[in-house]
Amino acid sequence: MDPDFWHERWQQKQTGFHQTRVNPLLETFWPRCMGAARPRVFVPLCGKSLDMIWLQNLGHPVLGTELSPLAVDEFFRENGLSAVKTPLGSGFVRAESGDISLLCGNHFDLTPDLVGKIGAIYDRAALVAMPPEMQGRYAEQVFRLLPETPPMLLITLEYGAEEMSGPPFPVPEETVVRLFGQAYRIELLSARDALEGNPQLRAKGLSRLTEKAFWLRPKLRPEP
């Protein structure tokens, strides 16, 4: 996706993808899947998601990545947080408040040293923001940044691609398996009709919309 597209969306406040409450699938499945563990969580293409506040309140340090500096500034301002900004290499700026750090820059320019140690991944808005031809590149970047393959809660959308041009883009279940199945055991946690709750997408011509939640657990690796 062209970075200018997303900059323009934030500048024009065309942010219908932003949820004004914590994602119910996160609230339902994250505690069940993570148990008592409280690792540092990676949230790619985070926008100004309230899910990060929820994760922090649960006891997780959070690292988000976001292209738009407007989204980063709005996240901290709207949540009453004062952020310290630090310019980094590769064109990134880190904005940090307490246990929440956001790296502002192009996700595909991230390097492992910028990301650091991560114990879990939460992806609600990243993979579905990628057109099909870029979804493989996105998965490759995840593996490059996090070769230890931490567990992941992945939320996707499925619909007839002929009915609408994304974003959000459809991610069929077979695509999840193709992208991540070699390194992860994939469990389908939930599949629900989401069309009624997304009237803006129905207005674009969708006749069906299925939201799915997957729990990805790293496969055991053989001892060297």
In a domain? residue 76: yes
30 is in an annotated binding site: no
In a domain? residue 12: no
179 is in an annotated binding site: no
In a domain? residue 108: yes
CATH of the domain at 132: 3.40.50.150
Count up the domains in the chain and report the number: 1
Nearest to 156 by CA among 195, 131, 127: 127
Digit-coded pLDDT (tens) for 83-120: 999 999 778 999 999 999 999 999 999 999 999 999 99
Give me the domain span that covers residue 180: 3-7+22-31+39-218
Instruction: Determine contact, residues 115/41, Cβ cutoff 8 Å.
Output: no
In a domain? residue 17: no
- Which DSSP letter does residue 220 get? P
What is the Rg, in whole angstroms, of the alpha carbon atoms belonging to the chain?
17
Instruction: Determine contact, residues 110/90, Cβ cutoff 8 Å.
Output: yes
In a domain? residue 53: yes
CA separation (Å) from 212 to 31, 172, 219?
Answer: 17, 9, 21
Rounded Cα gap, residues 164 and 158, in angstroms: 11
Instruction: Determine contact, residues 169/130, Cβ cutoff 8 Å.
Output: yes
pTM above 0.85, yes or no: yes
Residue 128 C-alpha from the chain's centroid: 9
158 is in an annotated binding site: no
70 is in an annotated binding site: no
In a domain? residue 16: no
In a domain? residue 14: no
Digit-coded pLDDT (tens) for 151-199: 999 999 999 989 988 789 999 999 999 999 999 999 999 999 998 888 8
* Amino acid found at 179: L
